[in-house]
Amino acid sequence: RALRFQIPTAKLFTKSQRFASTLTFIETSKDGNLVSSSLNALTAAAQLGNPIHAVILGSHASTAANILKSSVQCEKLTKILVSDNIGFDHYLPEKVAPLFAHLLKNDEYSHFVSASSTVGKTNLPRLGALLDLQPINDIIKILDSRTFSRPIYAGNAIATVQCSQPKKLISIRASAFEPITQGSTDSAVIEEIQQIEPETFIDVKWEGETLMKSERPELGSASRVVTGGRALKDKETFEKILVPLADVLNAGIGATRAAVDNGFCDNSLQVGQTGKVVAPDLYVAIGVSGAIQHLAGMKDSKVIVAINNDPEAPVFKVADYSLEGDAYEVVPELVRRLKEM
Ligand code: FAD
């Protein structure tokens, strides 16, 4: 089911335009490493066919720019714009979006691409408002430089969006694009952004954060995910059943909304329409019915294994391997067998 939408031309850019380049936001983690979803965003940017200028912000920007140059092979990447200004740390949208808007007023840029990460999602609407442009979120395919596919209705339909605005603001669903090829791009020049101080934009201050620390692979980027549903009764049982399997598979842990709402785990583990969208190599759903809102977050996983005691459970319709049985017996047995391998 495909729907077509047209986004009208905005009146903002009336000068003669020399649109040619794509500005791509590359996020870094707190320790200055490149965030993996940004490498998928770079692939999407390369598919647009234009030269790419990456933009990296915050106190690690210059280091990250060098990491980018020496770790990705992307011939379209011609320039890396950096600002080491500490004011850009934490990517507060009130500071970052005005900078992007400032850069995008340059006629050189026809597209802005970022990952549909938490940072991407918080920045893009503000950027759209600043430039009076409609962003196109969470795209899964680039059909041509102005036509994109994106899921709607919790992934039950794919909309084809054709955008006639002079500049396209796009966020990409990372799981729909491969990370850019590894290698090096020696030809890309690193350039300091000459711009207004972020402090002059809006008076907003980063107060602090409380981070949950875990040795386990992060749900959003894990290649294997083990998810538990309401069947796992309570927090203690949830952990008792899931953790040994996640350990043996070196998997991230996910949960349904029912599991989160019942307090089995933190809501950062929720997978689905109102949680995280994941597409790991292996997704094991345990005691999960397979409601459409949950499927919206995991149905693109490469291999889906479902363990459920109800043969009619909808999750079996999307599963590659269906294990009908009691999770309390099946999962410990599975762990035992995997340990023997
Ligand atoms: P249930 O539907 O209750 O399923 C439990 C399953 O466990 C059943 O299939 C049962 O057969 C099986 N089971 C029971 N005992 C055992 C056993 N011993 N061994 C094996 N199997 C067993 N849900 C999400 O997950 N993510 C979302 O992002 C999300 N967003 C939503 C947004 C909206 C607007 C709405 C309205 C709903 C949303 N939901 C979301 C909720 C969703 O509709 C379902 O209610 C939820 O996914 C059900 O979770 P569950 O599969 O754990 O529970």
Chain segment 223-277, per-residue pLDDT in tens: 999 999 999 999 999 999 999 999 999 999 999 999 999 999 999 999 999 999 8
Residue 83 exposed, middle or buried by CB count within 10 Å (0-12, 13-18, 19+): buried
Signed CA dihedral, 38, 44, 47, 50: sign only: negative
Instruction: With residue 154 as reference, give the H or E element that holds it.
Output: none
Q: Whose CA is nearest to atom 48 of ligand 1?
A: 258
Q: Which atom of ligand 1 is nearest to the CA of 288?
A: 51
Q: Does the annotation place 128 within a ligand binding site?
A: no
Assign 15 a pLDDT band (cuts: 50, 70, 90): very low
- What is the average pLDDT across 159-165? 96
Sole residue written with tokens 């949960």: 255
244 lines ligand 1 (CB under 6 A): no
229 lines ligand 1 (CB under 6 A): yes
Q: Which residues contact 106 (CB under 8 A, 6 or more apart)?
A: none
DSSP state of 318: H
Cα 53 to ligand 1 centre (Å): 43
User: How big is the CA angle at 131 (ends 125 and 135), to the nearest 5 degrees?
Assistant: 40
- Kindly list the distances between the CA atom of residue 106 and the CA atoms of 95, 156, 205, 261, 323, in Å, as whole numbers in the listed order: 19, 38, 28, 47, 56
ipTM of the complex: 0.99
Residue 311 exposed, middle or buried by CB count within 10 Å (0-12, 13-18, 19+): exposed
Q: Whose CA is nearest to atom 16 of ligand 1?
A: 231
Tokens of residue 275, six digits: 């949680």
Cα 97 to ligand 1 centre (Å): 37
322 lines ligand 1 (CB under 6 A): no
Chain segment 76-118, per-residue pLDDT in tens: 999 999 999 998 999 999 999 999 999 999 899 999 999 999 8
